Amino acid sequence: MVNDIKKYLEELQSFEIKDEKQLDQFRLKYLSKKGLIQKLFLELKNVPNDKKRNLGQEINNLKILANEIYDSLKDKFSSKSVTHKYEDFSKPSQILKLGSRHPISIVKNKIIDIFQKIGFDISEGPEIEDDWHNFTALNLPEHHPARDMQDTFYINKDPDWLLRTHTSSVQIRHMENNKPPIRTISPGRVYRNEDISARSHCFFHQIEGLYIDKNVSFVDLKQTLLYFTKQLFGKNKIRLRPSYFPFTEPSAELDIYWGLDSETDYRITKGTGWLEILGCGMVDPSVLSNCGIDPKDYSGYAFGLGLERITMLLYQIDDIRTLYENDVRFLNQFSKSI
C-alpha cells in the first residue's frame, strides 16, 4: 500500500491535463467514488491498527493534492468561462460616464488663460476678511456712503470680520506683500446680502485684475480690455463709460458692442446693442500709499468682473439659480466644453 501511495503521488503530478476532457479523466481516475484514492481508503480497513494512522494521513495528503490540481484547472477549462471570455471580447466596451466642469469653472479657466498669456499671475485670499482689506484700504473709510453699494454680511463687529464683498481685498493683500511690477488676477467667491432672484444671489464669483508698474496709463487699461474682449467674446468694439468706484480714479464701466442681430440680442442689450461687462479704472493713489507703494513712482489699473454674468451671457442661461442647483441634467450639457 505504501508503494501504491508513492506511485499515485508521482502519477497524478505528471498527469497530462490539456483540456476539459482530460481533466475529467483525472477526476474519474483519482477523485470519484470508484477512483483510486477512495479505493485506498477502503483498503485501510485491512491495515494493522498501528499503521492505520500514518497511512490514513498519507492518503489524505494525496487526496488534498489531487483536489488542488483539479480545482486550479477547473475554472480554466470549464465551458462556461470559455464562452464568457468570448462574450467579453465581442461586447462593446462599457461607456464610462465622465464628469464635466462646472460652467463657472470653464469660464474662469478661459479668462485665466487669456490673462496668463500676457504675463498675469494668479492670487488668492481669504473669503472671511477684515474691514481694512475689504473696505478701509480701498479708500472706503467707516461711514463712507459707498459702503452701502455692497450689502455686507458682517460676522463680527469688534474685531471686525466680514464675508468679502469683492476680490479687491485680494489685491490689497497682494500689494502689501509684493513689490511692483505687479500683474495679477484674483478669482474667487464673494458675498453680498442681496435677495435671491433670477438675476442676483447672495454669493457669486469675481475675477479682478491689477497691474502696477512705472508709467502705467489709461491707454494700457483700454488696450488690455480690448485684447480680453476679443479673446473671450470675439468682439472688437468696446467703449469705456465714466463711472465711480472709491478705489479707482478715473473709473469706468466697460461696455462691449454685442450687436442687434437676433431677438435675444435686442432683449439682453435692451435694444441698444451694448452690454455692460465690467468695472475698471486707474488705482487711486491713496490705495497705493495704503499698501506701501509710492504713487509718485508707480501707477496702475484695476478691473473686476462677475463670472456668473459672463457665464450666463456666453451660455445663454436665464436664471442664475440654475448655476447652483447642481442638477446633473444641466451640468452634463457642459461636458464637451472642458
The binding site for ligand PHE (CB under 6 A) comprises 166, 168, 208, 245, 248, 279-281, 302-304
For residue 220, give the amino acid letter.
Answer: D
Which residue number, 123 or 248, has a Cβ lying nearer to ligand PHE? 248
Identify the CA nearest to 135 among candidates 125, 149, 123, 122. Answer: 149
Which residue number, 8 or 301, has a Cβ lying nearer to ligand PHE? 301
- Shortest CB 245 distance to ligand PHE, Å: 4
Q: Indicate the pairing of strand 238-245 with strand 154-156.
A: unpaired
For residue 168, give the amino acid letter.
Answer: S
C-beta nearest to ligand PHE: residue: 304
Written as nine digits, the cell of 82 is 470559455
Report the distance separating Cα 252 and Cα 250, nearest Å.
Answer: 7
- Shortest CB 97 distance to ligand PHE, Å: 38
Which residue number, 37 or 278, has a Cβ lying nearer to ligand PHE? 278
Q: At what angle do helices 49-77 and 2-14 cross, to 10 degrees?
A: 10
Which residue number, 55 or 254, has a Cβ lying nearer to ligand PHE? 254
Number of CB atoms found within 10 A of residue 286's CB: 14
CB 77 within 8 A of CB 19: yes
- Please tell me the total number of residues recorded for the chain in this structure: 338
- Shortest CB 193 distance to ligand PHE, Å: 14
- Shortest CB 116 distance to ligand PHE, Å: 19
- Shortest CB 88 distance to ligand PHE, Å: 57
Query: Running DSSP on this structure, what letter comes out for residue 307?
Result: H
CB 300 within 8 A of CB 283: yes
Which residue number, 186 or 269, has a Cβ lying nearer to ligand PHE? 186
Residue 326: CB partners within 8 Å, gap ≥ 6? none
Which residue number, 69 or 108, has a Cβ lying nearer to ligand PHE? 108
- Shortest CB 100 distance to ligand PHE, Å: 29
CB 203 within 8 A of CB 191: yes
- Shortest CB 327 distance to ligand PHE, Å: 28
Which residue number, 92 or 145, has a Cβ lying nearer to ligand PHE? 145
Number of CB atoms found within 10 A of residue 326's CB: 9
